[in-house]
Amino acid sequence: MRLPVLVVNFKTYPSATGKNAVELAKIHQKMAEKTGISIALAVQAVDLRFVTENVDLPVFAQHFDVAEQGAFTGYVSPYSLKDAGAYGSLLNHAERKLPVDVLQSSIDLARSQGLFTIVCAESVFASKAVSELSPDLVAFEPPELIGGDVSVSNAQPQLIQDAVAMMGKGKVLVGAGIKTAEDVKLALKFGAAGVLVSSVVTRAHDPEKALEELLKGFL
The footprint of ligand G3P (CB under 6 A) covers 9, 93, 141, 146-147, 175-178, 196-200
Nearer to ligand G3P, 12 or 112 (CB): 12
Beta bridge partners of 139: 120, 173
Residue 48 half-sphere exposure toward CB, CA atoms < 13 A: 25
CB of residue 173 to ligand G3P, shortest distance in Å? 9
CB of residue 72 to ligand G3P, shortest distance in Å? 26
Respond yes or no: is residue 141 known to be catalytic. yes
Nearer to ligand G3P, 63 or 82 (CB): 63
Nearer to ligand G3P, 11 or 171 (CB): 11
Residue nearest to ligand G3P (CB): 199
CB 16 within 8 A of CB 10: yes
Separation CA 18–CA 189 (nearest Å): 36
* Catalytic entry in 141, 205, 212, 213: 141
Respond yes or no: is residue 212 known to be catalytic. no
Burial (CB < 10 A; 0-12, 13-18, 19+), residue 177, is buried
Beta bridge partners of 118: 90, 137
* Catalytic entry in 28, 93, 122, 213: 93
Amino acid (one-letter) located at 175: G
Residues marked active site are found at 93, 141
